[in-house]
A and B are shown apart, each in its own frame.
Chain A
């Protein structure tokens, strides 16, 4: 770092490139084709796509685990899975779905869309962004490799002490859990800082806080939650790792430890985690519903503030997971009340979405259907949540299938439905072709029906007294019928997912066979990403737009008459940016993010199996650090300065005088240099 910080980062003379300390440290060239370019890319859009593909892969893994669970529970006393294997499967299902599916799906959307929505060329620290992705991927693969190395974690995703100790779980599964989540935690933490800095500093000129798209807002709140929540789980995982690998006694009662410590640490992270998963989905819905209602989002300030309120209140409710744990009535009362009132900002969101629909002209495209699906299904999850905010009632409901039903209505009926809607909605922008609408609708209905068949009956099962995490149940307990229904539903969801994948393949094939032009703005949408060609060009904006209003792009197309009705004031064609801009400086690709992160799993294997494994891991990581520091700021083919590039033209440059001018904007890519300087703040672009 010092090497670069020693001089003003942007003070390079025109025509001068960085001195290469060693030949091997030259950056990969900026050619953006071939599979190799994906390994070294720092383009936020490609990273977003890779997050999406990775999450989809783990969605199949976690979904397969879910189907195993449902197959086992379809009938009483089934022996398909042993108790031991079942415990591993439900643990891995939970951890996979939370950390390797829902969170990275949100990261996929955040990475892809956030810079586009704020009119930026990339995130603030592009190499760190690539590092986040690879770190997440390697952590995820490391965690799942436990299946082949002695068995997965078997303590539940919540992994309560002391059941997570070596005494009660001798396989290495929980070691993989602890170290795997530490690695993915690094990814999320780095990404959180990156996106926060991006939103703070790289907004297009004129985009003040209350002109920020709601998805960006919700993502920003989410990143702050991650920033504060991840250190807590990191502490907990470290303590667990030390207990398991180095014989410490943080959770061992016999030696003065306390198992309740784990519960508190886990849920101080775990409850904000719920909002980390759902707030980006709220953002997606708040983007899509207005587009297909042809109305602005009702009560934008309320939507933003309620999102922030949820983010704040989310820190004061963690112990509602522990009403039966014996905290004492005073704590129970405090957390119970806090939990009841967090329903208020959530309810505001639901009602504002309804008000957005009111008086609109609704088009039930697939994205819209999925988003209305969220509104209806999340409402059910929210209401069941209120029922167990009442602590006495919760003592009957907690740890039963009623809770399983509740959080699946929140996370599947909430987050995943919204993300599917987001896929259909942004697909043409990302990939340049449409997903088939008819197949999409069949996918939607299969998913909705399958989802309700699966998780609806779980309310009944829970109230009927079926506890969670049971590998089987007896015929005389009366759980048979609804479990069978739930299993049928789960496989229906599976069929829907297969249809979705077939749809991707079929639509792509149809497009290749008979190519068509995808307009920049196919849905007549509102936010900035629709102002650039589809698929989004590498440089995002040929010209960084100047923002005057919330939904600026929409207001460039439409005004309204004296009755408030829409009147078109300009053709979309004339407003959207044209493809084919050249000479735009972009951050250069880098080898080092993937090298640096590839070392971490080896260190993990070293801790678990044999310290020798840590040696290649440490070498890779150190090589990654050194290479990262020493590599030049641009690749050899980047003709830095040939087009009159100078320090003053960077929008993120400290001295940029007219950041909004087209020329300045052309040059306005956030650069790795900015990343190293840590001084990317631009007074001009940060709005207010």
Chain B
């Protein structure tokens, strides 16, 4: 069969044409990337000025590259067709002219692309510096990458200490430039919201600044784009852009300290409400790593503001940090339920299929996660990277799920 296939050059020519057609389809596929419907991470649908600046460079670059592509590939196909050896060609009779080179021509096609690139370099240089510019009223947000989730810190009153510490979902006011201050707590990660700007690495020991801005309210997806180990694929995040008023409200809500659930029936001992039972479980099982503003694992109560060194502080007596995690950090859960997702923006906290579009808490996701986190997201808890399996009973899990839902 293969012999016969190899003998039919015409058949193969059709295959070649088919390849060309397929490549045209690929090109068309690229065109479709302008539409973000069903493509939450597309780089070709800018939704903010920085992403637009990049798009304004990439569009002409792609056109020029496309033109060169058509010229060169078309040229090759034409030359192949025009100068093919024909039937009846005889060696020594139809021999080609022996051209060794035409220096003038070669200089031309050395210099011409250099000039073209030189002109396009203007775009490049302008773009590089433009992305470094900051508005005077740019809002600072600190971004911390760690295996395998993102933390954001907001210093609302500008006193140098964060007033809000949240994870995975960054809330920003639409139409205002954000200055990201990017750091890492363990390995290198990269922060990237394609619709709003390119990416910037979070490198341990260094602080990088990068900006983004959303033109309109909306939710913009992102992923970690520097290989960071086991759950690199599952280190996701999103930016939720809201109106200025909604943003102010959000700031206020987030600064509310944690309030423990009350005992529904305080008189009857040993019969806590489910939420309260969950709170007790939380204190004994979870609070070593996860912070609730105002409640400290070993000090019991603080002033209600988040502690940026939570768990990472060195105990003066023992000399060890309390938290066993390599990154020294775990998501702050004070306002967990204000976010849409958990565990690196991976699993839904809510389901949309409630009655009449009303959303309900996705209790099964939470319960499964508490039961065996590693089964849902690859981690290395035995190496202190990621959430361990605490071997919780189903009662403990039910109580914790009930308690977590109080963290509005």
Q: Do A and B come from one complex?
A: yes
B390 at the interface (CB under 8 A from A): no
Binary flags per residue of B144-186, CB closer than 8 Å to A gives 1, else 0: 0001000000000000000000000000000000000010001
B98 at the interface (CB under 8 A from A): yes
Closest to B147 in A: A168
**CB within 8 A of B76: which of A357, A396, A398?**
A357
B33 at the interface (CB under 8 A from A): yes
Q: Are B19 and A295 neighbours in the complex by a CB distance under 8 Å?
A: no
The stretch of B218-226, B241-249, B279-287 that contacts the partner chain: B218-226
Instruction: Known A393-B54, A464-B42; judge A260-B69 contact (CB<8 A).
Output: no
Q: Are A442 and B29 neighbours in the complex by a CB distance under 8 Å?
A: no
Q: Are A361 and B89 neighbours in the complex by a CB distance under 8 Å?
A: yes
Q: Are A354 and B72 neighbours in the complex by a CB distance under 8 Å?
A: yes
B359 at the interface (CB under 8 A from A): no
Kindly state the separation between the CA atoms of A187 and B141 in the bound complex, as whole angstroms: 50
Closest to B84 in A: A362
Q: Are B109 and A351 neighbours in the complex by a CB distance under 8 Å?
A: yes
Most buried by A among B44, B83, B201: B201
User: B114: which A residues are within 8 A, CB to CB?
Assistant: 341, 344
Q: Are B128 and A298 neighbours in the complex by a CB distance under 8 Å?
A: no
**CB within 8 A of B58: which of A364, A393, A468, A563?**
A393
For residues 45 through 80 of chain B, which have their beta carbon under 8 Å from a beta carbon of chain A?
51, 53-54, 57-58, 61-62, 65, 68-69, 72-73, 75-76, 79-80
Q: Are B128 and A344 neighbours in the complex by a CB distance under 8 Å?
A: no
CB distance from A388 to the nearest CB of B (A): 9
Q: Are B72 and A442 neighbours in the complex by a CB distance under 8 Å?
A: no
A276 at the interface (CB under 8 A from B): no
Kindly state the separation between the CA atoms of A363 and B83 in the bound complex, as whole angstroms: 9
User: B54: which A residues are within 8 A, CB to CB?
Assistant: 392-393, 395-396
CB distance from B198 to the nearest CB of A (A): 2
Chain B residues with a Cβ closer than 8 Å to the other chain, count? 107
B396 at the interface (CB under 8 A from A): no
The stretch of B115-123, B291-299, B300-308, B362-370 that contacts the partner chain: B115-123
Q: How large is the interface on A (under 10, 10 to 19, 20 to 34, 35 or more residues)?
A: 35 or more
User: A341: which B residues are within 8 A, CB to CB?
Assistant: 114, 117
CB distance from B1 to the nearest CB of A (A): 9
**CB within 8 A of A438: which of B7, B18, B68, B208?**
B7
B267 at the interface (CB under 8 A from A): no
User: A364: which B residues are within 8 A, CB to CB?
Assistant: 9, 80, 84
B92 at the interface (CB under 8 A from A): yes
B103 at the interface (CB under 8 A from A): yes
User: A460: which B residues are within 8 A, CB to CB?
Assistant: 26, 29-30, 33
Q: Are B101 and A354 neighbours in the complex by a CB distance under 8 Å?
A: no
B227 at the interface (CB under 8 A from A): yes
CB distance from A160 to the nearest CB of B (A): 6
Instruction: Known A362-B83, A439-B2; judge A456-B22 contact (CB<8 A).
Output: yes
Binary flags per residue of B7-28, CB closer than 8 Å to A gives 1, else 0: 1010010011011001100100
User: B9: which A residues are within 8 A, CB to CB?
Assistant: 364, 441
Binary flags per residue of A221-265, CB closer than 8 Å to B gives 1, else 0: 000000000000000000000000000000001000011100000
Q: Are B65 and A387 neighbours in the complex by a CB distance under 8 Å?
A: yes
**CB within 8 A of A358: which of B12, B57, B72, B83?**
B83
Q: Are B232 and A478 neighbours in the complex by a CB distance under 8 Å?
A: no
For residues 87 through 136 of chain B, which have their beta carbon under 8 Å from a beta carbon of chain A?
89, 91-92, 94-103, 105-106, 109-110, 113-114, 117, 120-121, 123-125, 127-132
Most buried by A among B3, B65, B188: B188
Kindly state the separation between the CA atoms of A384 and B127 in the bound complex, as whole angstroms: 19
Q: Are A324 and B198 neighbours in the complex by a CB distance under 8 Å?
A: yes
Binary flags per residue of A150-188, CB closer than 8 Å to B gives 1, else 0: 000011100010110001111000000000000000000
Kindly state the separation between the CA atoms of A376 and B99 in the bound complex, as whole angstroms: 23
**CB within 8 A of A162: which of B15, B68, B113, B187?**
B187
The stretch of A110-118, A326-334, A619-627, A634-642 that contacts the partner chain: A326-334
Instruction: Known A296-B99, A442-B2, A478-B39; judge A340-B120 contact (CB<8 A).
Output: yes
User: A163: which B residues are within 8 A, CB to CB?
Assistant: 187-188, 227-229
B332 at the interface (CB under 8 A from A): no
Contacts A379-B73, A463-B30, A499-B2 known; 16 new A-B pairs at CB < 8 A: A156-B227, A163-B187, A163-B228, A293-B96, A300-B101, A348-B106, A372-B80, A376-B72, A390-B120, A395-B199, A400-B225, A439-B2, A441-B9, A452-B23, A477-B40, A567-B95
What are the nearest 10 A-B pairs in CB distance?
A: A395-B198, A465-B41, A438-B6, A253-B205, A566-B95, A299-B101, A470-B233, A83-B378, A392-B127, A326-B208
Q: Which residues on A are within 8 Å of B, measured CB to CB?
A: 82-84, 87, 154-156, 160, 162-163, 167-170, 253, 258-260, 293-296, 298-302, 324-326, 329, 332-333, 336-337, 340-341, 343-345, 347-348, 350-352, 354-355, 357-364, 372, 375-376, 379-380, 383-384, 386-387, 389-400, 436-442, 445, 448-449, 452-453, 456-457, 459-460, 462-473, 476-478, 482, 499, 524, 560, 563-568
Q: Which residues on B are within 8 Å of A, measured CB to CB?
A: 2-3, 5-7, 9, 12, 15-16, 18-19, 22-23, 26, 29-30, 33, 38-44, 51, 53-54, 57-58, 61-62, 65, 68-69, 72-73, 75-76, 79-80, 83-85, 89, 91-92, 94-103, 105-106, 109-110, 113-114, 117, 120-121, 123-125, 127-132, 147, 182, 186-188, 190, 192, 194, 197-201, 203-206, 208, 223-233, 326, 378, 383, 385
